[in-house]
Amino acid sequence: MTPVVNFGEKLAKAVAAHGPLCVGIDPHPSLLEAWGLSPTAEGLERFALTAVEAFGGQVSMVKPQAAFFEAYGSRGVAVLERVIAGLRDSGTLVLVDAKRGDIGSTMAAYAQAYLGDGSPLAGDAVTVSPYLGFGSLQPALDTARSTGRGVFVLALTSNPEGAQVQRAVAPDGRTTAQTIIDFASARNSGISPCGDVGLVVGATIGETDVDLSGFNGPVLAPGFGAQGGSVADLKRLFGADMRNVFPTSSRDVLKHGPDVSSLVSAVRRVQESL
């Protein structure tokens, strides 16, 4: 039997080849319109597969936002499956941004869908929500570990409402976000080059108010580029050592479509800025 390669090893190899940039595929209706495409399943397919052609083999990781595909029903989900397959064929890591979170057998089903071998929706990692308790993620954590995939756990998000939960203080004095980070750190303990449990920390959150110094895993930093996040923000949030930080840019790159060469050039400019 071929040994399972840890997700952290896959990430390290991808970063060595392409740098840390993660590019999002967000087929927002306004972007489809800007590309001269109709907000239909056909327009979605043209948009998404053009992005795959441009980004595949160019960056360390690509993050398709599942909601924009699900909005078109089964035909949209079929396009998402083609996106995942196309990126995998190009050798590019795929992070499916689905933000799933539930309990028991339902979470186990989500884990099989997005992390299980043989599932057409399984990328290399998936985003998950821990706000039913970090322990509710156990089926996803276990499936990811057994299949060599990863999970990115929401910790500190950039939406204003997030603070109501994420910055709430528990009786032990820790914020909810810090508690999540500590659980993730424990899960990654002793894994080299880094663990398979990542965090999502928005690049535009202001101050983190959490301790990430001992975190041995990847950190996804959405909001870089069009949403206002800058290299200076990344350095302020994460310090000079950003080996495991993955800034995510979506609209700032996608606005240069539909020309593939223009999209590739936009990616390279962002990579150079990092």
Report the catalytic residues.
99
DSSP string, the chain: -PPPPPHHHHHHHHHHHH-S-EEEE---HHHHHHTT--SSHHHHHHHHHHHHHHHTTTSSEEEEBHHHHHTTHHHHHHHHHHHHHHHHHTT-EEEEEEEE---HHHHHHHHHHHHSTT-TT--SEEEE--TT-GGGGHHHHHHHHHHT-EEEEEEE-SSGGGHHHHT-B-TTS-BHHHHHHHHHHHHHTT-SS--SEEEEE-TTSS---S--TT--S-EEEE-BSTTSB-HHHHHHHH-S--TTEEEEESHHHHTT-S-HHHHHHHHHHHHHH-
Reported residue count of the chain is 274
CB 193, CB 213: distance < 8 Å: no
Axis crossing angle, helix 104-115 with helix 138-147, rounded to the nearest 10: 30
Q: State yes or no: cis peptide before 171, omega within 30 of 0.
A: no
Q: What is the Cα–Cα distance from 234 to 203, expressed in whole angstroms?
A: 6
Structure tokens at 39: 């907000």
